[in-house]
Amino acid sequence: MVKYIFVTGGVLSSLGKGVASASIGTLLEARGYRITLQKFDPYLNVDPGTLTPYQHGEVFVTKDGAETDLDLGHYERFTTLTLGKINNTTAGQVYHDIIEKERRGDFLGRTIQVVPHITDEIKRRIKRARQGKVEIVITEIGGTVGDIESLPFLEAIRQFRRDVNPEDTCCIHLTYVPYIRAAAELKTKPTQHSVERLREIGIQPDIIICRTERPISAEAREKISLYCNVSPEAVVEALDTSCIYSIPLVFHQERLDTVILKRLRMRPRPSRLAKWEKLVNIMQQPKAEVEIAMVGKYVRLQDSYKSLDEALYHAGIPSRVCVKIRKVDSEALEKEEDLAKHLNGVAGILVPGGFGVRGVEGMISAIRYARENRIPCFGICLGLQIAVVEFARNVCGWKDAHSTEFNPQTAHPVIAILPSQKDVKNLGGTMRLGGYPCVLTAKSISRRAYGKNRINERHRHRFEVNPEFLPEIRKKGLLTAGLSPDRRLVEIVELKDHPFFVATQFHPEFQSRLSSPHPLLAAFISACLKYKETIT
């Protein structure tokens, strides 16, 4: 018998519904249950792949090559799951499928309506996640209750609870309980209103998680319980925290997992959270700190490199260091004196992935600065491409070297479009996406860090190192430390004469988890720590 948990949000957005859902996943896995997580996004884009990071933050890439909402990143980082295409549904996909069926004539002349056609498709997708031996499906609904867009999803949940035994479902509503300074009081009214909205739609939540700045008094809890019609133990406090990985522990203390299992009539197996707790402790009590500069174009946005930020924090765990990230806008690095100013004192420099020419020259300068000053350096995707361009320009002496993404006319196109990309017209879902194998070169930093020859990492790009220029580039000291098994595509480059200079065409950050930091990023942080000791 499969059980279903639905997570909705009220009052306002950005309350951390994704992390809350992921934390519920951590807790139920710690209880020995096989779970899965999925996200429903009410917007009409078919996937977030074509969206600018300014709108919904990073695009998370799954192993099977789907471009998904960044919450799937939290789900993977908080659990043992490897998710895929089926774990992220957008309203765009739902409508797309239904309209395609209508055009094919599958509906035999009937009128196509939101209820039942769209809602049926949503219900089908809720169940679709139940693959293998999954015992509990956790479905998070994006957006906030009251949004026009999320109505079909909420209606589908209402119907779903009616279709199955309601006791096999648990609705968890995340709200905000603001503290009003003038009144010196926590206010429960917004929570009451948002639960009222849910009830109008026909959904009575079973549990209310209250995001708050201040501890919730017994009185406020009682009030929420009474007005929202849930038992007092089902009002769960979620106090602001500086470490998102402590949230499962906070929820556990609040007995959230016990309440969920009781509601679902599941056995409260013993909870095994000791390992998680140990990792959180290491993060909260580090022995040292290293600061690295992340030089990119979207650095001012909090969520645009979410997985990378998190992966860097994880990467500090093996060395027991706290990683501080100095976000440097690459457009500010175009002049020589700006480099020393903005990169002063950092223990490492990292250039992440990106698209478009804005800020590229600043990234090239930052990489040159790291190479010449022997500062540990890591490039990811565009970062690798930039590292190759910098090397071609300043070591090989090809002053006009560039990627054809930015200068199609250059005589030295050291980065060029992938052959598989030449005839691509549609922008959505057409890059080289998802997990691909890579073979590591003996005696490279990468080979040592991974401790094996063959790896599989996730990609999201259209351009690649142009093999035409490789013999010369290799001769001048750039090592191709990772190649595709057919040896055609360069996956990792390293500088031979440098303490730590590694760049990857893939995105290591998508496979990092709190419980298994990425080996190559961990090696980078360890090199940064060593470097820091030499400069202080």
Kindly tell me the number of DSSP H helices and DSSP E strands found in the chain.
18, 23
Smallest separation, CB 484 to ligand GLN (Å): 15
The CA angle 16-22-28, to the nearest 5 degrees, is 135
- Residues found near ligand GLN in the complex (CB under 6 A): 353-355, 381-382, 405, 460-463
Identify which of residues 161 and 460 has a Cβ nearer to ligand GLN in the complex: 460
405 is catalytic: no
Identify which of residues 393 and 461 has a Cβ nearer to ligand GLN in the complex: 461
Which of 63, 59, 64 is closest to 47 using CA atoms? 59
User: End-to-end alpha-carbon separation of the chain, Å?
Assistant: 60
Is residue 458 within 8 A of residue 507, CB to CB? The reply is yes
Q: CA-CA distance, 424 to 524, in Å (whole number)? A: 35
Smallest separation, CB 353 to ligand GLN (Å): 3
The one catalytic residue in 56, 402, 507, 518 is 507
Identify which of residues 252 and 460 has a Cβ nearer to ligand GLN in the complex: 460
Half-sphere exposure of 350 (CA within 13 A, CB side): 30
472 is catalytic: no
Smallest separation, CB 459 to ligand GLN (Å): 8
Identify which of residues 194 and 505 has a Cβ nearer to ligand GLN in the complex: 505
Q: CA-CA distance, 354 to 304, in Å (whole number)? A: 10
The token pair that represents 514 in the structure block: 């709190």
Phi, psi (degrees; rounded to nearest 5) at 224:
-60, -45
Q: At which residue do the structure tokens 């206010």 appear?
A: 187
Smallest separation, CB 464 to ligand GLN (Å): 7
Identify which of residues 126 and 489 has a Cβ nearer to ligand GLN in the complex: 489
Identify which of residues 26 and 480 has a Cβ nearer to ligand GLN in the complex: 480
Smallest separation, CB 420 to ligand GLN (Å): 12
Residue 484's CB: how many other CB atoms inside 10 A? 15
Smallest separation, CB 306 to ligand GLN (Å): 14
Phi, psi (degrees; rounded to nearest 5) at 325:
-110, 120
CB-nearest residue to ligand GLN: 353
The one catalytic residue in 29, 509, 518, 528 is 509
Q: At which residue do the structure tokens 């003996």 appear?
A: 442
Sequence-separated (6 or more) residues with CB below 8 Å from residue 117: 98, 107
Identify which of residues 91 and 381 has a Cβ nearer to ligand GLN in the complex: 381
Identify which of residues 70 and 381 has a Cβ nearer to ligand GLN in the complex: 381
Q: Strand pairing partners for 208?
A: 173, 235
DSSP string of 418-448, one letter each residue:
-GGGTT----TT-SEEEEEEEEEPTTSHHHH
The token pair that represents 298 in the structure block: 């979207």
Residue by residue, what is the 3-state secondary structure of 236-273?
A: EEEECCCCHHHHHHHHHHCCHHHHHHHHCCCCCCCCCC
The one catalytic residue in 170, 171, 322, 381 is 381
Smallest separation, CB 417 to ligand GLN (Å): 8
Q: CA-CA distance, 363 to 310, in Å (whole number)? A: 22
Identify which of residues 201 and 417 has a Cβ nearer to ligand GLN in the complex: 417
User: How many residues in the chain?
Assistant: 536
Q: CA-CA distance, 156 to 119, in Å (whole number)? A: 5
The CA angle 59-246-219, to the nearest 5 degrees, is 110
Smallest separation, CB 339 to ligand GLN (Å): 22
Q: CA-CA distance, 404 to 463, in Å (whole number)? A: 8
Half-sphere exposure of 69 (CA within 13 A, CB side): 26
Smallest separation, CB 355 to ligand GLN (Å): 4
Q: At which residue do the structure tokens 């959270």 appear?
A: 273
Q: CA-CA distance, 42 to 45, in Å (whole number)? A: 9
Identify which of residues 57 and 353 has a Cβ nearer to ligand GLN in the complex: 353
Phi, psi (degrees; rounded to nearest 5) at 266:
-115, 150
Helix axes 256-263, 17-30, angle to 10 degrees: 80
457 is catalytic: no
Is residue 123 within 8 A of residue 156, CB to CB? The reply is yes
Smallest separation, CB 466 to ligand GLN (Å): 12
Half-sphere exposure of 158 (CA within 13 A, CB side): 16
- Enzyme catalytic residues: 381, 507, 509
